Amino acid sequence: MTSATLQQSAVRNFGRKRIMAFAMPAVIAAYFVYIFVAFDIAGLSERVNVSNAATLVSDVYSYKTHVTQDNRDGTVKIAIEGERKGAYPQGTGPDWVTFAEQTVIDLGGGHVVTFGDRVTYDVPGYGTISAQPGAGGVNAMFPPGDMPDYISTSKNRLMVVTDAGRFTVTRNRTEVFKYTLGWELFFFTLDSPYHGMGPAALVSAAFSGEAGAIWSDFWTNRMWRHSEVAWAIVETILMAFLGTFGAAIIALPLGFLAAKNFTPLGGLRFAARRVFDFLRGVDGLIWTIILSRAFGPGPLTGALAILLTDTGSFGKMFSEALENVDEKQIEGVASTGAKPLQRYRFGVIPQITPVLLSQILYYFESNTRSATIIGAITGGGIGLFLTQAIITQKDWEEVTYYIVLIVLMVMAMDTLSGWLRRKLIKSDEGGH
């Protein structure tokens, strides 16, 4: 090759590299422009509802007490999160509600709501809002001047949302929502004798022989359902365990069929590999939907969905590990007169055990997270509780509680998986 030819080749190579240097950033920039247009990023600000976001965030770290008046008979009811399980006995309530001829609700900071035939809301800096609910709608009266943005009104509904709380009037009902920091009734419900006790009083009662009763009241809490939630966590882990280790048990012998150094028949290897491709090619959620239609909802359906997906993944990994085993070790075992099964047991399995254990434990940890979503579809585990709490759209502190438990569960499984991986693999390598 002449120097001129080499020079021309170098010029072409530099030219291609120069084009690529400009083309790649241009392609990436065009892709981001496409995303900006296709996903309507510019319209995101118009779709964002800051008020709803603020309400959601406040629901996470606080609870709301509903004070409700039936406008037809004047009955007043008070309940935590509006649930019957969190209802105060008739005529009782928190200290910021005063029962008299008219029920007075002090929301703090000068915000005062008064129930009666005509309901009023004294808003500091604005004045008194009054409303007369009846068959003809809600006849509301406001202080003179411009109406603030936090007031919305129509013929049949009045709503006032301030930092102190929310005030709503319809023809049949007047309701006040007051947010308070914390997760009320998390430990004990209103009907428990231990509700409202401080830590010192609880410790004293426990040492006085009431420890069992205290634990029972907490564990059987009807609002937070701690015992049911604990079992749901166990159910989720069991789904992941059965699915992962069941898949490993099935995939190991099938892995021998897909390994070329153990199965000389190409057709058999091809069939085994295609089965693995099919099983892992269908996502676990799709298997969950299919199996739930076939076998009905339940945690076992979720475990089977994990088993099918992981059988495909494990089969591929195990077959590849088997194809890389050291033949000399197998020959050494065979020289002792070992039968084929003994060769596999003592010449093959010890070599691939570290890989098997590492992958199985990693998938077990990962499937613990997946089992949460699968449980939401199949009706089992903590995923079902989380889905139910989200659907209600009122108890977001419960959603936070379940998410915290899921994160703690995943962290615990990660720690356990790492510890077992180190112990088992180190032990296996040491013995080997």
Q: Tell me, what's the pLDDT at 124?
A: 92
Instruction: Specify the pLDDT at position 214.
Output: 94
From CA 430, how far away is CA 432, in angstroms rounded? 5
Residue 368 has pLDDT above 60, yes or no: yes
Whole-number Å distance between alpha carbons of 303 and 270 = 27
Distance CA 297, CA 97 (A): 45
Model confidence at 432: pLDDT above 80 = no
Instruction: Check whether 245 has a pLDDT greater than 90.
Output: yes
Strand 76-80: give its sheet, edge to edge.
76-80, 62-70, 173-181, 165-170, 157-162, 151-153
CA distances 390 to 47, 57, 158, 327, 343, Å, are 21, 14, 27, 56, 55
In this predicted structure, the answer to whether residue 28 has a pLDDT above a threshold of 90 is: no
**Would you say residue 111 has pLDDT above 90?**
yes
Q: φ and ψ at 141, to 5 degrees?
A: -125, 140
**pLDDT score at 248:** 93
* Distance of alpha carbon 352 from alpha carbon 248, whole angstroms: 13
Q: Which one is predicted more confidently, 333 or 382? A: 382
Share of the chain above pLDDT 70, in %: 86
The confidence score (pLDDT) of residue 76 equals 93
pLDDT above 60 for 204: yes
**pLDDT at res. 427:** 56
Architecture of the CATH domain 226-424: Orthogonal Bundle (1.10)
* 423: nearest Cα among 357, 344, 331, 348: 357
Residue 423: per-residue pLDDT? 78
Does 51 have pLDDT greater than 70? no
Give residue-wise pLDDT tens across range 223-239. Answer: 899 999 999 999 999 99
123-169 pLDDT, tens per residue? 998 999 999 998 888 889 999 988 888 899 998 999 999 989 999 99
Edge-to-edge strands of the sheet including 104-108?
A: 97-98, 104-108, 111-114, 119-123, 127-134, 137-141
Kindly report the average pLDDT of the chain as a whole number. 85
* Spatial separation of the C-alpha atoms in residues 156 and 304, rounded to whole Å: 52
pLDDT reported for residue 1: 55
Rounded mean pLDDT of 401-423? 88
Q: For the chain, give every domain's residue range.
A: 1-48, 64-181, 226-424
- Model confidence at 416: pLDDT above 70: yes
Average pLDDT value for residue range 304-333:
84
Dump pLDDT digits (tens) for 165-179.
999 999 999 999 998
pLDDT in tens, 282-300: 888 888 888 888 888 888 8
